Structures are given as structure tokens and as C-alpha cells.
Amino acid sequence: MSKVRVRFAPSPTGFLHVGGARTALYNWLFARHHGGTFVLRIEDTDLARSTEESVRGILDGMRFLGLDWDEGPEVGGEYGPYFQTERLELYHKYVQQLMEAGRAYECFCTPEELEAQRQAQREQKLDIHYDGRCRHLTEEQKGAYRAEGRKPVVRFVSEKEGQTEIPDLIRGSVVFQNSQIDDFVIVKSDGVPTYNYAVVIDDALMEITHVVRGEDHIPNTPKQIQLYKALGFPIPEFAHIPMILGSDKTRLSKRHGATSVMQFHDEGYLADAMVNYLALLGWGYDDSQTLFSRDELIEKFSLERVSKNPAVFDFQKLQWMNGVYIRELTLDEFYDHAFPHLQKAGLVPAEPSEEEQQLIKTVLKELQSRVKLISEVVEMSRYFFTDDFPYNEEAVRKVLGKGDAKGVLEYLRAALASVSSFSHEELEPVFNGAMEEFDLKLGKVIQPLRVAVTGTNVSPGIYEVLEIVGQQRTLARIDRALDWIAQGE
RNA sequence: GCUCCCAUCGUCUAGGGGCCUAGGACAUCGCCCUCUCACGGCGAAGACAGGGGUUCAAAUCCCCUUGGGAGUACCA
């Protein structure tokens, strides 16, 4: 096989979404696996919808996921430029070639006329195709249209006989009857090429060897193959990967939840988890492995093993996997990820002192096995960093509202006040004492204390919590809880 | 409507004629650990869409039906 060159070619009309990210990932994995080149090309020929902001968003998404490109925006390369709007002369050159060869012609039909044609075809239940009426316009007729002020598009003279076969690494081969392919537009009236045309010129000129893209492009492919043939370009290999669907089995979109990669980042998903999950959405290795490091992915990925059927995006599984990756982080790494969230929430100073950092790490150590999203550290740790934490209404009512609570807390208040440190050794006898005093199980003693100190009935182990919160604040919080109980009486 | 793609547990998948009384993971449900939660451990339930073939033998090959998806633009 000649040196592998693949590309990810998004159109900058929105942020990088998970579908695009997965396509980019598969291209990237394929390139890395074969020691090939991964090209990033921006398909911005839709002048009305393309924005620079989107370009930045896509680049940010790629960087977040760690999908580095060998050629493309910011890094350049020998096959540039990598923005289609900067390649206009190239496209025009080949349009000339096509026109001279009689494989393209100007069409002056207006959108309205075309719509009327389609409508008529629909009514007669005919196949909906451009009828080729402008194919043989005389110079005179063209002149007349121009005089009217009409701006022509350029259409490709498609082959109508026979069939076109798409060689597809994932699906075997897909065959289309050429009679289905009409004279499609390759240059719009504003002179900008259409997708189907530009993509062929670019993939050919950039010497792309494997076109890996979404299944939604299958119907475009025969058109593109005809173009390759008409232009005398070698035809690349194709691999059409399945769609990603939402839980209702329709194409994944915003209404199914977050789809922007950067939104996942903001919510506390780790790049490695995203990559691992996305890789598994439509690809599987064997009958047992689900966790793959990047290197393993590169080593084991192959297009042949990509699934043919569409995959439903499972937020729960992604979340589980994110939890797995969070637990694998070293404490320092977890700190680096969590700190911005804590800081943004105002729970920790922007530039914490050494002791403050230590405290944060002590807290995070307790949280690491409990969060599935990094962002969850904020609400899970609030009571460690501030006395201004909310009472979880239901938990408080359930635990502090019980008859035992008052007596237990009063007992603990006194006992804990007389202890010299909040170490496990000093604390344990206190709890034992309370258990005896009230003839309660440990849980019944601890829950009121937990709620008093954290405002909720779910927290890390009580010894850890008390040690971090410390004696003074613990006593104050017990007082607050006692007040709450008193108010209810 | 027409064209094309697809079809194994709720979800992602393993399976490419006998190894399948169909394996794994998430989710679900039990149990264990246990001060709550999480983590961890153990276990349960759960699928070859239907019908025809081919074959000694089919989840695996072929056909049809059904179901889902995509495309049908001067969007990409």
C-alpha cells in the first residue's frame, strides 16, 4: 500500500460534534496505525453559513481530544492551502478542463424553474432529476440569458449508461445505476464550487488514499467517482462509517443532549474517556476488551472491524467510562482537572497557598472514586471549603427530624468538644460511647452527625470528613443542626 | 415516491457454517463489603426481527417480508 493519507474535512458551520469527532478519530487512528498522514481540511464553500468562530471551535475540539493533524490549518503542509475558499483557482482550472472535454456545461435555470421541474416530476411520480435542458444551449441562447442578468451554474455531464461501483472497506462494494445520477451542479452561480466537486479535486490533489467519512455520504460517492474518472484521477479507497443515533434511533442532535465536544469538556469529561468511548461506538476489537489506551487503540484499530450498523449514543456508558478514567488519574492529575471547576465556583482561591493546595488534595482524594464528571467535585465538596453550604431538605428532614437526633447530637457535641484531636483513634470511642448510651447502631449515631456536618446524608467516610472539617467547625455545625431541630419543635 | 445502507440482550458489541445450552461491557435487579454514598467483589435477568431456502449442520450463506436509517439542494 502506498503511504496512507487520510483527511477529516469538516465544514465550519457549527462546533465539533460527537459525530464529526468520531469520524476524525477513526481517520486519525487509521493514519497513526499505518504511520500515515492525517490531514485537516476546512470545507468552507458554504459562504453563508461558514464562520471563523466555528473553525476555532473545531480546532479546539480536535486539540482537546488530542487529535493532532499533520497538515492543515496552523501547521500548513505541502498540499495546501487547506481552506477550500483559498483554493478557488484550482477548482476553476479543472472546470475549464471539464468544459473543454464536453463533460460540463453552463446551466441558466433559476432555482424557481428547477423547483417547478421537480414538482412536475413528483406529480407524475417520475424520478426526480434535472432534465438536462441546458445541456445543448447555443451561444445565442446563453447570450440572451446573460443579457437577462442570469448567472449560470456549471453542471457536470454525468454518465447515464451502466453502473458505478463504490469500493468500500466496510461494506464490501456498493453499486449504483448511473441512470440515477443526474447532471449535478459543480459550480454555483456565485462561482464557488459545490461540495461534491470540491471534495474530489481536493482529495485527488492532496493525494488522499482513503476517504473515511459518514455513511450519509454514500449517495454522493457515485457522483464523485464519475468526477474522478472524468478528470483522470486515481480513485481512493472508501470507508463509510455508520451514523450515530440518539436514544430514539434518529440521527443524534442537540435535542438528545450535549453533542458539542467542547460542551463535554466543560461538563467534566476527560479526553481519554471520550476517545475510548467514541472509538467503541462503531468499532469493537474482541469479545472482552472495552478499555483501551490511546496506544492500544492505534495498535488495534482497523477499518475492517468497523461495524456496519448505526450506533446509539449512550450517555450512561460514557459517564461510567469517564469515572473509570477519573479513578485512574494520579491525585495531582485529578487536582489539575478539578481545580478550575473549584476555582470557578469560588470555593478555592485562584492562587492557593501550599497548605491550601494540600487541603484541596485531601478533599479530592475522598472524591475521586465518587465522581463521574469532574464538574461534580464542586457540589460534592462545598461543605469542606465553606460554612455556607445548603441543607439537603429531604435528607435533613429524614435524619434530623427523627426523635433520636437531638439527643445524639447533644451527646456528640459534648463528647467531641472534649476530644484532643479528630483522629480516628480519638473519634472511635466517642461513637462507641454514643452507641451504648442510646443503644443504637453505629449508623444511627453517625447519620445525624453526617447531616449536621455536610448538610446531606451522602458523603465520604465520617472519619475523613470530620478530620478535614476539624473540631471547631464541626461543633459549630452541630449547633446549627440543633438550632434547626429546635425550630421544628 | 425513488435510490442506497443496515438488522445479535434496553444500549455498545463478540461471533465470519459445527467451539453457541450465543461471550463481554453499560444500564437494571439481588447479595457481599460497610457509618451513608461511591469504589470493589459475586450473582441474576436479558438478544440471534419474521418466513423461505442452501447444507449432514446456520446467529453465521442466499432470497423475500418487515423494521430502522440515510440521500434525493446553486448544504456539506
CATH of the domain at A65: 3.40.50.620
C-alpha–C-alpha distance, residues A274 and A69, integer Å? 18
Region of residue A177 (phi > 0: left; psi between -120 and 50: alpha; otherwise: beta): beta
pLDDT, tens digit, 9 for 90 and up, residues A376-419: 999 999 999 999 999 999 999 989 887 788 999 999 999 999 99
Within this chain, do residues A229 and A353 fall inside the same structural domain, yes or no?
A: no
Q: Give the integer Cα–Cα distance in Å for A85 and A421.
A: 70
Domain match, A292 and A197 both: no
Q: What is the ipTM of this complex?
A: 0.96
Rounded (to 5) percent helix, strand, coil in chain A? 55, 10, 35
pLDDT value for A253? 84
Q: How many domains does chain A have?
A: 4
- Cα separation of A22 and A301, whole Å? 13
CA–CA distance, A335 with A350 (Å, rounded to integer): 13
Last residue of a domain, one of A213, A241, A269: A241
- On the CB side of A262, CA atoms within 13 Å amount to 12
Domain containing A230 equals 87-241
Is nucleic acid strand B under 7 Å from A172's C-beta? Answer: yes
Question: Beta carbon of A188 within 7 Å of strand B?
Answer: yes
Q: What are the φ/ψ torsions at residue A218 (nearest 5 degrees)? A: -55, -45
pLDDT at A489: 67
Q: Is A151 a catalytic residue?
A: no
For residue A37, what are the CA distances in angstroms to A122, A340, A488?
Answer: 46, 35, 70
CATH number of the structural domain spanning residue A457: 1.10.10.350
> Is A237 found in the same domain as A250?
no
A327 nearest nucleotide via C1' and CA: B39
Residue A319 lies in a domain: no
Q: Is residue A95 domain-shared with residue A231, that is, in the same domain?
A: yes
Same domain, A301 and A342: no
Same domain, A40 and A103: no
Other beta carbons within 10 Å of A45: 22
Catalytic-role residue among A3, A93, A151, A254: A254
Domain identity same for A416 and A398: yes
Q: What are phi and psi of A49, to 5 degrees?
A: -110, -15
The answer on A223 and A121 residing in a single domain is yes
* Contact assessment for residue A372 and residue A326, using Cβ atoms and an 8 Å cutoff: yes
Please report the pLDDT score of residue A80 as a whole number.
80
pTM, whole model, 2 decimals? 0.95
CA dist A289 → A131, A276, A278, A285, A286 (Å): 53, 11, 14, 7, 6
A230 and A273, same domain (yes or no): no
Summarised one tens digit per residue, pLDDT across range A455-488 is 999 999 999 999 999 999 999 999 999 999 888 7
Is the CB of residue A409 less than 8 Å from the CB of residue A452?
Answer: yes
Residue bearing cell 467517482: A225
- State the cell numbers at A204: 485527488
List chain A residues with pLDDT less than 50.
none
Residues 46-75 of A near strand B (Cβ < 7 Å)?
A: 46, 49
Integer Cα distance of A225 and A236 in angstroms: 9
